[in-house]
Amino acid sequence: GEMAEHGDGFRKLEMQRAPRAPEASTPEQRHWRRYKTSLVTKAYAAVHCVAFSPAAPYDFAVTNSTRVQIYGSRGKAVKKTISRFKDIVYTTSFRDDGKLLVAAGEERIVKVFDVESGGMLRMLKGHSKPVHSCGFSRDRLHCISGGDDAVVKYWDVATGEETMNLEGHKDHVRCVTTSPTSQDVVVSGSYDHTVKLWDCRKGASVLTVDHGGPVQAVLMLPGGGVMVTAGGNVMKVWDVLAGGRVLHAMANHSKPITCLAYDENGGRILSGSLDHHLKVYDVQEYRVRYSLDYQQPILSLGFSQNQSTIAVGMANGLLNVRSRPTEEEKLSKVKAKKNPRGGTFQYFIRGQYDKANEEDDFRVERIRKQKLAPYDKMLKSFHYGAALDAALRTTNPLIIASLLHELYVRDCARIALSGRDDTTLIPILKFICKYISVQTYTSLLTDVSNTILELYTVIIGRSEAVDELLWKIRMRVHEQLMMDANLVALQGSLELILASTLH
């Protein structure tokens, strides 16, 4: 592709993009478009849970592999990392004052932490299988947890004792929550297709509804009278007070829904799915009002109470954070100008320092210095290997392919690809493996593969991971050649048939 001219003669990489059709914009769409990506980070493993603190400054916790990371609001930085786990952490939740955090997972122990210090306060033992959901009760004194042992447990935080063992589900419990109006009511959703409301004073189920499929997420709307359940690609809205009557059923996702969140101020339900989409529904008609697309299947979702941030965790370990300025922040930027009183010195000098309006004034436009992406900065300073690494970190095939193409144009591909060990070679091989069969990239990636084979023939056989990827690339190439051979055969057959019809 063509490259854009920089102030000092350096031409930065330009991506070839297809034009987009103009579309009508509604206030709802404009609201959600204001959320701009403020962080994209790649973790070691799938991001199973994202949980916002209900208290300002609305930090959020992310479970990833064997740790919980607490990010500052908008994901600007990791404030604290809690790694007191021996196995994968699936679930975490803040207490409503934001001071305590509960987390659990494959280890089967529910752990309570102090958010400020990161210290562990309680270890709640009792589940016989992994725990996939946990939280605090409204009275702040109890914890709830649901596990693969089909049991919901109600714990006393002060003593660390199990107060109630709620049995009734016949399969994994995947989600638990509390009623927003009653501190004794707990809600649980299970793979046995049911959602149960429990009265913790009686230790019994007071309502059971059948979702019609394995339940992955459950949400209680403010007021406690309406409940939302998600399982498969279906979302259902229930009237709890009317004995569990279905008010609405929606199937707007093409793959299973994994998570739900609620925007209290806007009256919107958010759902995330394995189909890479996040959808926004209103709570009047339960219609989809907006849809956001992500790079990977969505596993977890969080929405801050001040409406400033949406955090989404994905199956491949990506964490995407989108944020927008809050109304308070907008107002603080607008400084009200007071009109000076007549007869004062301020009145006398009013307007003296005001600048002329751009529309009334003619000025010669200066060329703005363009902001360079990390890979462009490396390219500019002739660090070709680092430029390729920076492009690979973006995970955007368009950027990576554009940069590889540029390296070949500059005759620097060998420099960029040489001198690597297995850890720095693997990302390139993974990219080749994924995209060599995509027609647009086949020719370029064939050149890259040949260069790598010339450079690294000696080390083949020393790294299992490298060898495995080379085998995969070989398989991809073989599949492609088989397809091409079939196409050649088909072309021959068609020519024979067409030739015979002409005679």
DSSP assignment of 382-396: T-HHHHHHHHHHTT-
Tell me which of 13-22, 130-139, 274-283 is least confident.
13-22
The CA distance from 6 to 400, in Å, is 20
Q: CB atoms < 10 A from the CB of 272, how many?
A: 30
Pairing of strands 78-82, 89-94: unpaired
Provide the token pair at 92: 């975490």
Written as one letter, the residue type at 44 is Y
Of residues 308 and 346, more confidence is placed in 308
Position 332 scores a pLDDT of 64
Provide the token pair at 140: 């702040």
Across the range 208-230, mean pLDDT stands at 94
**In contact, 72 and 52? CB cutoff 8 Å:** no
Position 302 scores a pLDDT of 95
End-to-end CA distance of the chain, in Å?
A: 47
Provide the token pair at 281: 């529904």
| Confidence bin at 360 (pLDDT 50/70/90) | very low
| Confidence bin at 168 (pLDDT 50/70/90) | very high
- The yes-or-no verdict on residue 363 having pLDDT over 60 is no
Across the range 412-437, mean pLDDT stands at 88
Q: Percent of the chain at pLDDT above 70?
A: 89
- The yes-or-no verdict on residue 2 having pLDDT over 70 is no
Across the range 58-70, mean pLDDT stands at 93
The CA distance from 98 to 193, in Å, is 32
Mean pLDDT of the chain: 86
Position 358 scores a pLDDT of 46
The CA distance from 37 to 172, in Å, is 35
Q: Is the dihedral of CA 390, 395, 399, 403 positive or negative?
A: positive
**201-207 own/partner pairs: CB under 8 Å, 24+ apart:** 203/164, 203/165, 203/166, 205/166, 205/168, 207/240, 207/243, 207/244
Position 353 scores a pLDDT of 64
Give whichever of 213-222, 330-339, 464-473, 474-483 has the largest mean pLDDT: 213-222
Three-state SS for 501?
A: helix
Sorted by where each starts, the structural domains of the chain and their CATH numbers stand as: 34-326 (2.130.10.10), 374-497 (no CATH)
The CA distance from 493 to 201, in Å, is 77
Written as one letter, the residue type at 451 is T
The CA distance from 289 to 443, in Å, is 42
CB-side exposure of 119: number of CA atoms within 13 Å?
A: 3
Angle, CA 452 vertex, CA 448 and CA 456 arms, to 5°:
180
Break the chain down into helix, strand, coil percent, rounded to 5. 25, 35, 40
Position 333 scores a pLDDT of 59
Q: What is the DSSP string of 389-419?
A: HHHHHTT-HHHHHHHHHHHHHTT-HHHHHSS
Of residues 479 and 503, more confidence is placed in 479
Angle, CA 44 vertex, CA 39 and CA 46 arms, to 5°:
80
**pTM for the whole structure:** 0.63
Across the range 318-332, mean pLDDT stands at 80
**In contact, 431 and 394? CB cutoff 8 Å:** no
Chain centroid, CA 36 distance in Å: 13
Across the range 209-231, mean pLDDT stands at 94
Of residues 39 and 335, more confidence is placed in 39
Position 98 scores a pLDDT of 93
- The yes-or-no verdict on residue 343 having pLDDT over 80 is no
| Confidence bin at 7 (pLDDT 50/70/90) | low
Across the range 416-430, mean pLDDT stands at 87
Of residues 404 and 463, more confidence is placed in 404
Position 181 scores a pLDDT of 87
Q: What is the DSSP letter of 260?
A: E
Which residue matches tokens 């300025």? 325
Angle, CA 305 vertex, CA 300 and CA 306 arms, to 5°:
125
Angle, CA 247 vertex, CA 244 and CA 248 arms, to 5°:
125
Across the range 124-140, mean pLDDT stands at 94
- The yes-or-no verdict on residue 354 having pLDDT over 50 is yes
Across the range 198-227, mean pLDDT stands at 93
**In contact, 15 and 398? CB cutoff 8 Å:** yes
Those residues whose C-beta lies under 8 Å from the C-beta of residue 96, and which sit 6 or more positions away, are 54, 55, 136, 138, 140
Q: What is the pLDDT of residues 263-273, one digit of tens each?
A: 988 889 999 99
